[in-house]
Amino acid sequence: MALETLLASPFAPPPPQRPQRRALVLMGGGARTAYQVGVLRGLGRLLGEAAFPFHLILGTSAGALNGTYLASVAHHGTRAFEHLGAFWSQLRSHQVYQLNALRLGRPNLLTAGLTLMRQVRRHRALLDTLPLVQTLHRHLDLPAVSRALEDGTLDALAVTASSYTSGEHWTFFQSADPTCTPWRRPGRRAEAQLIGVEHLMASAAIPFLFPAVPLWVDGHKEYFGDGSMRQLSPLSGAIHLGARQILVIGVGQPQRAGLTRTAAHSDEPSAGTIAGHALASVFHDTLQADVEQAQRVSRTLAQLPPAVAALLPYRPVDVLCLQPSVSLDELALKHVHELPAATRDTLAGLGALETRRSAAGSTAALASYVLFEPGFVHALMQLGEADAHHHAHALRAFFAASTDRTVP
């Protein structure tokens, strides 16, 4: 996180009173974000029947889909997490994307290449995402999002996307609260817009897999891709919108690097292994570093003399971060047989489903982003619930903090 997000000039005038806000930040990762659903279901069971516990929701990529769905059912309070779980439980890959693979004998690199070349020619990407557009239109109640914002159930909903046109990282937010205002930082922009399906498709447009999506910004059209790209400060949007507490749920796995320590280094990586590694790099967010810096700066702010702290327009931010406790690559490897036949054959042709020891670290990495099938989804949700239970003490302490909505 850039220090200017938390610190301002000591000569700045005392800030006006503003609402205290608790934010939910959901990172990206394709099908892997079903893990977030499990964490939230676990959280809901810890909190019991209660009002919706967040004032701000910010999402990136598939995390933006989760966040917007939650905003549409926020009037159900903590039961909203169960509604999100029910949505994921009935989701299938064919409701997210379509891939028509060539069938020319056993899967191989040639047939996979021809399949992908044909897909790119037809859809400007490797996958046809029209099914996801249709799924979102069927299941998302966007007017309910507006009602939640207007009646104060939520203060703001925000989604992020990366502009292929300008190279800037954008946060699009919707709010009825006049204290939620746009901002601009080097390489980062924010603009108030009515969040629609097109914003979600842009935020979730995984590079190469999903086509770029046009959005209008500053009175002109730009093309956008996955919000995980160039996301240097994942927490900055929440802080700009006034969050004093942030629960962030990622789907990264810092333990992934250790999966190949015993691998045979002489084996050349397959095209699928390289593709999986490239996608892991896209979704290898700077979350942990951002969290650590936010916590460090917040501790410094909290230790300032009250007279000095009163001159600053920002206050310490309480950040709690949850991420998977086990490798999602290894979890996906147990469920790759569930993939639609066309997807499985294409990935097999690319060598992305190899089980050689040297490929074990990333063999299912590529598949894990597109594996929207019940076995993998349920395994992810169970893992998320287990991790929420494991961190129950920290979660209870986080939500036990003061919820007075007005702070100086």
Q: What's the pLDDT tens digit per position in 272-300?
A: 555 556 666 655 556 666 666 776 666 77
Give the C-alpha separation, 335 to 277, whole Å. 19
The pLDDT value recorded for residue 20 is: 73
DSSP code of residue 267: S
Q: Under DSSP, is residue 56 helix (H, G, I), strand (E, B) or coil?
A: strand
Among left, alpha and beta (phi > 0; psi -120 to 50; other), residue 105 is: left
61 among known catalytic residues: yes
Do the Cβ atoms of 327 and 372 come closer than 8 Å?
no
The pLDDT value recorded for residue 365 is: 77
The pLDDT value recorded for residue 112 is: 60
The pLDDT value recorded for residue 233 is: 80
Of the residues 226, 285, 290, 329, only one is catalytic, namely: 226
Structure tokens at 188: 């980062």
pLDDT less than 70: residues of the chain = 1-19, 101-121, 123, 253-292, 295-298, 301, 303, 307-314, 348-363, 402-408
Of the residues 61, 93, 203, 236, only one is catalytic, namely: 61
Domains detected in the chain: 22-98+126-253+285-325+372-401 (3.40.1090.10)
The predicted model scores a pTM of 0.84
Give the C-alpha separation, 383 to 325, whole Å. 8
Structure tokens at 364: 């299912």
